[in-house]
Structure 1
Protein backbone atom coordinates (compact mmCIF):
# COMPACT_ATOMS: atom_id res chain seq x y z
CA UNK A 1 0.00 0.00 0.00
CA UNK A 2 2.88 2.39 0.70
CA UNK A 3 4.20 1.83 -2.83
CA UNK A 4 0.78 2.94 -4.10
CA UNK A 5 0.95 6.15 -2.02
CA UNK A 6 4.44 6.83 -3.32
CA UNK A 7 3.34 6.60 -6.97
CA UNK A 8 0.03 8.32 -6.15
CA UNK A 9 1.89 11.35 -4.76
CA UNK A 10 3.77 11.80 -8.04
CA UNK A 11 0.59 11.36 -10.09
CA UNK A 12 -1.00 14.11 -7.96
CA UNK A 13 1.97 16.40 -8.63
CA UNK A 14 1.67 15.71 -12.34
CA UNK A 15 -2.09 16.37 -12.31
CA UNK A 16 -1.48 19.73 -10.61
CA UNK A 17 1.24 20.71 -13.09
CA UNK A 18 4.03 20.57 -10.52
CA UNK A 19 6.42 18.30 -12.47
CA UNK A 20 9.33 19.95 -14.28
CA UNK A 21 10.77 18.79 -17.60
CA UNK A 22 14.48 18.69 -18.44
CA UNK A 23 14.43 22.38 -19.39
CA UNK A 24 12.76 23.49 -16.15
CA UNK A 25 9.38 24.14 -17.75
CA UNK A 26 6.46 22.38 -16.11
CA UNK A 27 4.55 19.58 -17.78
CA UNK A 28 0.88 20.41 -18.47
CA UNK A 29 -1.69 19.63 -15.79
CA UNK A 30 -3.71 16.44 -16.23
CA UNK A 31 -7.49 16.57 -16.71
CA UNK A 32 -8.11 12.81 -16.43
CA UNK A 33 -5.54 11.36 -14.00
CA UNK A 34 -7.09 8.46 -12.05
CA UNK A 35 -6.28 7.83 -8.39
CA UNK A 36 -4.59 4.44 -8.01
CA UNK A 37 -6.04 1.59 -5.97
CA UNK A 38 -3.74 -1.07 -4.58
CA UNK A 39 -4.44 -4.55 -5.97
CA UNK A 40 -3.33 -7.60 -3.99
CA UNK A 41 -3.53 -9.88 -7.04
CA UNK A 42 -1.18 -7.59 -8.95
CA UNK A 43 1.09 -7.58 -5.90
CA UNK A 44 1.09 -11.39 -5.78
CA UNK A 45 2.06 -11.58 -9.46
CA UNK A 46 4.74 -8.90 -8.94
CA UNK A 47 6.23 -10.84 -6.02
CA UNK A 48 6.24 -14.01 -8.13
CA UNK A 49 8.10 -12.25 -10.94
CA UNK A 50 10.55 -10.59 -8.52
CA UNK A 51 11.30 -14.01 -7.02
CA UNK A 52 12.59 -15.21 -10.41
CA UNK A 53 15.45 -12.70 -9.96
CA UNK A 54 15.19 -11.89 -13.66
CA UNK A 55 14.98 -8.44 -15.16
CA UNK A 56 13.19 -9.81 -18.20
CA UNK A 57 10.33 -7.45 -18.88
CA UNK A 58 8.50 -9.99 -21.00
CA UNK A 59 4.75 -9.75 -20.52
CA UNK A 60 4.51 -13.52 -20.90
CA UNK A 61 2.06 -14.92 -18.37
CA UNK A 62 0.42 -11.54 -17.76
CA UNK A 63 -3.03 -10.49 -18.82
CA UNK A 64 -2.75 -8.32 -21.93
CA UNK A 65 -3.90 -5.24 -20.00
CA UNK A 66 -1.14 -5.45 -17.35
CA UNK A 67 2.25 -3.76 -17.73
CA UNK A 68 5.27 -3.85 -15.42
CA UNK A 69 8.29 -1.90 -14.26
CA UNK A 70 11.35 -3.85 -13.09
CA UNK A 71 14.49 -2.63 -11.40
CA UNK A 72 17.41 -4.41 -9.75
CA UNK A 73 18.89 -2.60 -6.78
CA UNK A 74 22.43 -3.60 -5.84
CA UNK A 75 22.93 -4.78 -2.27
CA UNK A 76 25.56 -2.11 -1.62
CA UNK A 77 23.04 0.65 -2.33
CA UNK A 78 20.44 -0.63 0.14
CA UNK A 79 22.42 -1.79 3.17
CA UNK A 80 20.91 -0.36 6.32
CA UNK A 81 17.63 0.76 4.74
CA UNK A 82 14.28 -0.99 4.49
CA UNK A 83 12.77 -2.47 1.37
CA UNK A 84 10.07 0.21 1.51
CA UNK A 85 12.83 2.82 1.38
CA UNK A 86 14.17 0.97 -1.66
CA UNK A 87 10.79 1.16 -3.41
CA UNK A 88 10.53 4.88 -2.60
CA UNK A 89 14.00 5.56 -3.99
CA UNK A 90 13.23 3.62 -7.16
CA UNK A 91 10.05 5.59 -7.66
CA UNK A 92 12.10 8.79 -7.37
CA UNK A 93 14.70 7.41 -9.80
CA UNK A 94 12.03 6.39 -12.31
CA UNK A 95 10.27 9.75 -12.01
CA UNK A 96 13.50 11.78 -12.37
CA UNK A 97 13.87 10.32 -15.86
CA UNK A 98 11.18 12.75 -16.97
CA UNK A 99 13.64 15.59 -16.48
CA UNK A 100 16.07 13.86 -18.82
CA UNK A 101 13.80 12.34 -21.45
CA UNK A 102 10.52 14.01 -22.28
CA UNK A 103 10.82 14.36 -26.03
CA UNK A 104 10.28 10.79 -27.27
CA UNK A 105 9.95 7.26 -26.00
CA UNK A 106 13.41 5.88 -25.41
CA UNK A 107 15.38 3.73 -23.04
CA UNK A 108 14.02 4.09 -19.53
CA UNK A 109 11.13 6.38 -20.40
CA UNK A 110 8.64 3.52 -20.34
CA UNK A 111 8.91 3.37 -16.53
CA UNK A 112 7.81 6.99 -16.22
CA UNK A 113 5.00 6.57 -18.70
CA UNK A 114 3.70 3.57 -16.78
CA UNK A 115 3.55 5.61 -13.56
CA UNK A 116 2.01 8.62 -15.32
CA UNK A 117 -0.50 6.82 -17.55
CA UNK A 118 -3.79 8.54 -16.67
CA UNK A 119 -6.15 5.61 -17.20
CA UNK A 120 -4.15 3.17 -15.07
CA UNK A 121 -6.23 2.57 -11.96
CA UNK A 122 -4.58 -0.35 -10.12
CA UNK A 123 -1.06 -1.03 -8.88
CA UNK A 124 0.70 -3.90 -7.10
CA UNK A 125 4.42 -4.15 -6.29
CA UNK A 126 6.70 -6.91 -5.05
CA UNK A 127 10.31 -7.09 -3.90
CA UNK A 128 12.57 -10.14 -3.68
CA UNK A 129 16.06 -10.56 -2.29
CA UNK A 130 18.32 -12.00 -4.97
CA UNK A 131 22.03 -12.62 -5.31
CA UNK A 132 23.74 -9.25 -5.03
CA UNK A 133 20.62 -7.18 -4.39
CA UNK A 134 16.86 -6.89 -4.72
CA UNK A 135 14.45 -7.07 -7.63
CA UNK A 136 11.57 -4.62 -7.43
CA UNK A 137 8.59 -5.25 -9.72
CA UNK A 138 5.47 -3.10 -10.04
CA UNK A 139 2.43 -4.15 -12.08
CA UNK A 140 0.00 -1.58 -13.50
CA UNK A 141 -3.54 -2.25 -14.75
CA UNK A 142 -4.71 -1.29 -17.21
CA UNK A 143 -1.21 -0.83 -18.51
CA UNK A 144 -0.16 2.21 -20.47
CA UNK A 145 2.44 2.91 -23.12
CA UNK A 146 -0.07 2.50 -25.93
CA UNK A 147 1.34 3.71 -29.25
CA UNK A 148 -0.36 6.82 -30.67
CA UNK A 149 -2.29 7.41 -27.43
CA UNK A 150 -1.85 10.37 -25.07
CA UNK A 151 -0.36 9.64 -21.66
CA UNK A 152 -3.00 11.96 -20.21
CA UNK A 153 -5.36 14.70 -21.35
CA UNK A 154 -3.93 18.16 -20.65
CA UNK A 155 -6.26 20.48 -18.77
CA UNK A 156 -7.44 21.53 -15.35
CA UNK A 157 -7.31 18.67 -12.83
CA UNK A 158 -10.53 16.61 -12.87
CA UNK A 159 -11.97 18.55 -15.81
CA UNK A 160 -12.15 15.37 -17.92
CA UNK A 161 -12.67 12.55 -15.40
CA UNK A 162 -13.62 9.26 -17.05
CA UNK A 163 -17.19 8.00 -16.74
CA UNK A 164 -17.72 6.29 -13.39
CA UNK A 165 -15.22 8.47 -11.54
CA UNK A 166 -15.54 11.65 -9.50
CA UNK A 167 -13.09 14.36 -8.49
CA UNK A 168 -10.95 14.00 -5.38
CA UNK A 169 -8.76 16.92 -6.32
CA UNK A 170 -6.48 16.71 -8.16
CA UNK A 171 -7.32 13.12 -9.19
CA UNK A 172 -10.33 11.27 -10.54
CA UNK A 173 -11.42 8.50 -8.18
CA UNK A 174 -13.51 5.40 -8.89
CA UNK A 175 -16.92 5.31 -7.25
Structure 2
Protein backbone atom coordinates (compact mmCIF):
# COMPACT_ATOMS: atom_id res chain seq x y z
CA UNK A 1 0.00 0.00 0.00
CA UNK A 2 1.50 3.34 -1.05
CA UNK A 3 1.77 6.01 1.59
CA UNK A 4 1.52 9.73 0.90
CA UNK A 5 2.04 12.56 3.42
CA UNK A 6 1.13 16.24 3.26
CA UNK A 7 3.96 18.48 4.43
CA UNK A 8 1.98 19.81 7.39
CA UNK A 9 1.68 16.36 8.93
CA UNK A 10 5.46 15.86 8.80
CA UNK A 11 6.30 19.04 10.70
CA UNK A 12 4.55 18.00 13.90
CA UNK A 13 5.96 16.21 16.92
CA UNK A 14 6.38 12.46 17.06
CA UNK A 15 3.33 12.27 19.29
CA UNK A 16 1.15 14.05 16.73
CA UNK A 17 2.59 11.94 13.93
CA UNK A 18 1.83 8.79 15.93
CA UNK A 19 -1.74 9.92 16.47
CA UNK A 20 -2.09 10.58 12.75
CA UNK A 21 -0.76 7.12 11.89
CA UNK A 22 -3.09 5.47 14.41
CA UNK A 23 -5.98 7.44 12.97
CA UNK A 24 -5.01 6.29 9.47
CA UNK A 25 -4.83 2.64 10.55
CA UNK A 26 -8.23 2.88 12.20
CA UNK A 27 -9.77 4.49 9.12
CA UNK A 28 -8.34 1.82 6.83
CA UNK A 29 -9.80 -0.90 9.07
CA UNK A 30 -13.12 0.96 9.13
CA UNK A 31 -13.12 1.22 5.32
CA UNK A 32 -12.53 -2.52 4.90
CA UNK A 33 -15.25 -3.28 7.42
CA UNK A 34 -17.68 -1.00 5.57
CA UNK A 35 -16.93 -2.77 2.26
CA UNK A 36 -17.68 -6.16 3.82
CA UNK A 37 -20.74 -4.96 5.76
CA UNK A 38 -23.35 -5.16 2.92
CA UNK A 39 -23.03 -8.97 2.77
CA UNK A 40 -23.70 -9.18 6.52
CA UNK A 41 -26.61 -6.76 6.34
CA UNK A 42 -28.35 -7.93 3.15
CA UNK A 43 -27.19 -11.57 3.09
CA UNK A 44 -25.96 -13.64 0.17
CA UNK A 45 -28.64 -16.06 -0.97
CA UNK A 46 -26.91 -17.26 -4.13
CA UNK A 47 -24.16 -16.37 -6.58
CA UNK A 48 -26.53 -14.32 -8.74
CA UNK A 49 -26.98 -12.02 -5.76
CA UNK A 50 -23.59 -10.51 -6.63
CA UNK A 51 -25.49 -8.48 -9.24
CA UNK A 52 -27.30 -6.67 -6.43
CA UNK A 53 -25.88 -3.13 -6.44
CA UNK A 54 -26.09 -3.07 -2.66
CA UNK A 55 -23.36 -5.74 -2.58
CA UNK A 56 -21.02 -3.86 -4.93
CA UNK A 57 -18.12 -3.30 -2.52
CA UNK A 58 -18.35 -6.80 -1.05
CA UNK A 59 -18.50 -8.38 -4.51
CA UNK A 60 -15.35 -6.50 -5.57
CA UNK A 61 -13.47 -7.94 -2.60
CA UNK A 62 -14.84 -11.48 -2.97
CA UNK A 63 -14.68 -11.84 -6.77
CA UNK A 64 -12.81 -15.09 -7.52
CA UNK A 65 -11.82 -13.82 -10.99
CA UNK A 66 -9.74 -10.99 -9.56
CA UNK A 67 -6.09 -11.60 -10.41
CA UNK A 68 -4.49 -8.57 -8.77
CA UNK A 69 -5.47 -5.65 -6.60
CA UNK A 70 -3.77 -2.56 -5.30
CA UNK A 71 -4.66 0.03 -2.69
CA UNK A 72 -3.51 3.50 -1.80
CA UNK A 73 -4.39 6.23 0.62
CA UNK A 74 -3.98 9.97 0.90
CA UNK A 75 -3.61 11.66 4.26
CA UNK A 76 -4.96 15.20 4.30
CA UNK A 77 -3.57 17.82 6.64
CA UNK A 78 -6.65 17.29 8.78
CA UNK A 79 -7.87 13.95 10.12
CA UNK A 80 -9.36 12.58 6.88
CA UNK A 81 -7.79 9.62 5.09
CA UNK A 82 -9.00 8.87 1.55
CA UNK A 83 -8.66 5.17 0.70
CA UNK A 84 -9.05 3.55 -2.71
CA UNK A 85 -8.55 -0.02 -3.98
CA UNK A 86 -8.52 -1.23 -7.59
CA UNK A 87 -9.25 -4.84 -8.57
CA UNK A 88 -8.11 -6.23 -11.93
CA UNK A 89 -9.86 -9.23 -13.45
CA UNK A 90 -7.80 -11.99 -15.00
CA UNK A 91 -6.88 -10.99 -18.55
CA UNK A 92 -5.72 -13.48 -21.18
CA UNK A 93 -3.98 -13.04 -24.51
CA UNK A 94 -6.53 -14.02 -27.15
CA UNK A 95 -5.62 -15.14 -30.68
CA UNK A 96 -8.95 -14.07 -32.23
CA UNK A 97 -8.52 -10.59 -30.76
CA UNK A 98 -4.94 -10.56 -32.07
CA UNK A 99 -6.17 -11.42 -35.58
CA UNK A 100 -8.40 -8.36 -35.68
CA UNK A 101 -5.62 -6.13 -34.36
CA UNK A 102 -3.14 -7.51 -36.90
CA UNK A 103 -5.56 -7.06 -39.81
CA UNK A 104 -6.06 -3.42 -38.91
CA UNK A 105 -2.33 -2.83 -38.37
CA UNK A 106 -1.72 -4.03 -41.94
CA UNK A 107 -3.89 -1.18 -43.29
CA UNK A 108 -1.20 1.30 -42.10
CA UNK A 109 -3.97 3.76 -41.26
CA UNK A 110 -1.77 5.19 -38.47
CA UNK A 111 -4.86 6.21 -36.50
CA UNK A 112 -7.54 4.58 -34.38
CA UNK A 113 -10.20 2.67 -36.30
CA UNK A 114 -13.88 3.59 -36.21
CA UNK A 115 -15.87 1.87 -33.48
CA UNK A 116 -18.27 0.52 -36.12
CA UNK A 117 -15.36 -1.42 -37.67
CA UNK A 118 -14.60 -3.31 -34.42
CA UNK A 119 -17.90 -3.66 -32.61
CA UNK A 120 -17.41 -5.06 -29.11
CA UNK A 121 -13.69 -4.24 -29.02
CA UNK A 122 -11.74 -1.38 -27.49
CA UNK A 123 -8.55 -0.28 -29.23
CA UNK A 124 -5.28 1.55 -28.61
CA UNK A 125 -2.86 2.53 -31.38
CA UNK A 126 0.72 3.79 -31.31
CA UNK A 127 3.18 4.94 -33.96
CA UNK A 128 6.72 3.70 -33.26
CA UNK A 129 9.30 5.85 -35.04
CA UNK A 130 11.31 3.05 -36.63
CA UNK A 131 10.62 0.52 -39.40
CA UNK A 132 10.88 -3.24 -38.85
CA UNK A 133 10.78 -2.69 -35.11
CA UNK A 134 11.55 -5.45 -32.63
CA UNK A 135 7.99 -6.23 -31.50
CA UNK A 136 8.88 -6.39 -27.80
CA UNK A 137 10.49 -2.92 -27.94
CA UNK A 138 7.58 -1.38 -29.83
CA UNK A 139 4.93 -2.92 -27.58
CA UNK A 140 6.81 -1.81 -24.46
CA UNK A 141 7.03 1.77 -25.75
CA UNK A 142 3.33 1.70 -26.65
CA UNK A 143 2.28 0.38 -23.24
CA UNK A 144 4.39 2.98 -21.42
CA UNK A 145 2.90 5.75 -23.56
CA UNK A 146 -0.70 4.64 -23.00
CA UNK A 147 -0.34 3.96 -19.27
CA UNK A 148 1.66 7.16 -18.77
CA UNK A 149 -1.40 9.26 -19.59
CA UNK A 150 -2.65 8.82 -16.03
CA UNK A 151 0.32 10.83 -14.73
CA UNK A 152 -0.40 13.84 -16.96
CA UNK A 153 -3.50 15.02 -15.13
CA UNK A 154 -4.59 12.31 -12.70
CA UNK A 155 -7.90 10.48 -12.40
CA UNK A 156 -10.71 11.00 -9.89
CA UNK A 157 -9.96 9.22 -6.62
CA UNK A 158 -12.64 6.56 -7.23
CA UNK A 159 -10.98 5.75 -10.59
CA UNK A 160 -14.32 5.94 -12.41
CA UNK A 161 -14.72 6.80 -16.09
CA UNK A 162 -16.86 9.94 -16.12
CA UNK A 163 -17.88 12.50 -18.72
CA UNK A 164 -15.22 14.82 -17.33
CA UNK A 165 -12.53 12.41 -18.59
CA UNK A 166 -13.95 12.57 -22.10
CA UNK A 167 -14.00 16.36 -21.97
CA UNK A 168 -10.40 16.82 -20.78
CA UNK A 169 -8.03 18.65 -23.10
CA UNK A 170 -5.42 16.01 -22.17
CA UNK A 171 -6.40 12.69 -23.76
CA UNK A 172 -6.37 9.86 -21.20
CA UNK A 173 -8.61 7.37 -23.01
CA UNK A 174 -5.73 5.03 -23.86
CA UNK A 175 -4.98 4.65 -20.15
CA UNK A 176 -8.63 4.02 -19.32
CA UNK A 177 -8.81 1.38 -22.07
CA UNK A 178 -5.82 -0.47 -20.57
CA UNK A 179 -7.34 -0.27 -17.08
CA UNK A 180 -10.93 -1.03 -18.17
CA UNK A 181 -12.29 -3.37 -15.51
CA UNK A 182 -14.51 -5.44 -17.82
CA UNK A 183 -11.89 -6.25 -20.47
CA UNK A 184 -10.67 -9.83 -20.10
CA UNK A 185 -9.09 -10.46 -23.53
CA UNK A 186 -6.15 -8.74 -25.22
CA UNK A 187 -4.59 -9.10 -28.65
CA UNK A 188 -1.99 -6.96 -30.46
CA UNK A 189 -0.45 -6.56 -33.91
CA UNK A 190 2.41 -4.58 -35.47
CA UNK A 191 3.14 -3.58 -39.06
CA UNK A 192 5.96 -1.64 -40.73
CA UNK A 193 4.49 1.34 -42.58
CA UNK A 194 7.14 3.32 -44.46
CA UNK A 195 9.70 4.49 -41.91
CA UNK A 196 7.45 3.77 -38.94
CA UNK A 197 5.86 0.79 -37.21
CA UNK A 198 2.13 0.80 -36.47
CA UNK A 199 1.14 -0.87 -33.18
CA UNK A 200 -2.47 -1.88 -32.54
CA UNK A 201 -3.88 -3.53 -29.41
CA UNK A 202 -7.50 -4.52 -28.98
CA UNK A 203 -9.43 -5.34 -25.82
CA UNK A 204 -12.61 -7.37 -25.31
CA UNK A 205 -15.21 -6.74 -24.15
CA UNK A 206 -14.94 -3.00 -24.72
CA deviation vs aligned residue, 1:68-122 (integer Å, no higher than 9, x gap): 00111111xx78x622111012101111110112244234311000100111100
CA deviation vs aligned residue, 1:10-30 (integer Å, no higher than 9, x gap): x94xx3137xxxxxxx99321
Counterpart for residue 84 of structure 1: 136
Aligned residues: 119
Measure how far apart 1:53 and its partner are.
0.7
Change (3 A) 1:128 1:27: farther
- Rg (Cα) greater in structure: 2
Q: Counterparts of 2:143 and 2:83 in 1: how far apart (Å)?
A: 18
Q: Indicate the SS of the match to 2:126.
A: strand
The structure with the largest helix share of the pair is 2
Counterpart for residue 146 of structure 1: none
Counterpart for residue 118 of structure 2: 62
Q: TM-score normalized by structure 1?
A: 0.60
Measure how far apart 1:60 and its partner are.
2.8
Measure how far apart 1:61 and its partner are.
2.3
Within a 5 Å distance, the mapping from 1:20-59 to structure 2 comes to: 28-31=84-87, 33-54=88-109, 55-59=111-115
Unaligned runs of 5+ in 1: 1-10, 19-25, 144-175
Counterpart for residue 202 of structure 2: 139
Q: Counterparts of 1:28 and 1:124 in 2: how far apart (Å)?
A: 29
Counterpart for residue 59 of structure 2: none
Q: Which has the higher contact order (CA 8 A, sep 6+)?
A: 1
Q: Indicate the SS of the match to 2:151.
A: helix
Q: Indicate the SS of the match to 2:107.
A: coil
**Contact 2:71–2:83, Cα closer than 8 Å, also in 1:** yes
Q: Indicate the SS of the match to 1:30.
A: strand
Aligned residue among 179, 187, 193 for 1:116: 179
Q: TM-score normalized by structure 2?
A: 0.52
| Superposition RMSD in Å | 2.4
